[in-house]
Amino acid sequence: MQYIIGALVFGLIIIAIVILVIVNFTYKGIRQIREAAEERIVRNQKQREQKEKNPFGDDYFKSSGSSRRQQGRQQQYEQKTQQSRRQQDEQPKENTARRTTTSSGVTIIDDRDATDKKIFDHSDGEYVEFEEVNS
């Protein structure tokens, strides 16, 4: 009788261990799925933010670089625009506006001085072809 009770207790312990192992693997699997879903949500959110920051459409910017390079270019662009605004305030110059319309219908007006026709520095790397339209 003691052997039967001992065997039943041993069997219950084995079954409990198997159930605990199954629960542990299930928990880990659910946790990995949840982390992957959260990562996907964050990635999609960042993509939406990038699209909102780019009102000109994907066809305007032909190439895409790393986010650090884009941030550096954005800072350089902001510095250059601040410098050009200071220069314009100091010396009034002739304005000749050039307009470009993207395929999505956004019109880009370039009212920089005609002598400053450079859009990208040589250090920026890849160039994008563009067409100037006189209005």
pLDDT of residue 34: 95
The verdict on residue 119 lying in a domain is: no
pLDDT of residue 105: 78
The verdict on residue 66 lying in a domain is: yes
DSSP codes joined into one string, the chain: -HHHHHHHHHHHHHHHHHHHHHHHHHHHHHHHHHHHHHHHHHHHHHHHHHHHH-TT-TTTS-----HHHHHHHHHHHHHHHHHHHHHHHHS------EEEE-TTS-EEEE-S-TT----S-GGG-S-------B-
pLDDT of residue 128: 61
pTM beyond 0.85, yes or no? no
Residue 102 CB partners (closer than 8 Å, separation 6+):
56, 57, 59, 60, 108
- The domain of 91 spans 2-111
The verdict on residue 126 lying in a domain is: no
The verdict on residue 130 lying in a domain is: no
The verdict on residue 127 lying in a domain is: no
Cβ atoms of 100 and 131 within 8 Å: the answer is: yes
Q: How far is CA 12 from CA 7, 20, 25, 124, in A?
A: 9, 12, 20, 70
What is the chain's pLDDT, residue by residue, as a tens digit (135 residues)? Answer: 888 999 999 999 999 999 999 999 999 999 999 999 999 999 999 888 877 776 666 556 555 444 556 666 777 777 777 777 776 666 555 556 777 888 777 888 777 766 655 566 666 666 666 677 776
Domain tally, the chain = 1
pLDDT of residue 11: 95
The verdict on residue 120 lying in a domain is: no
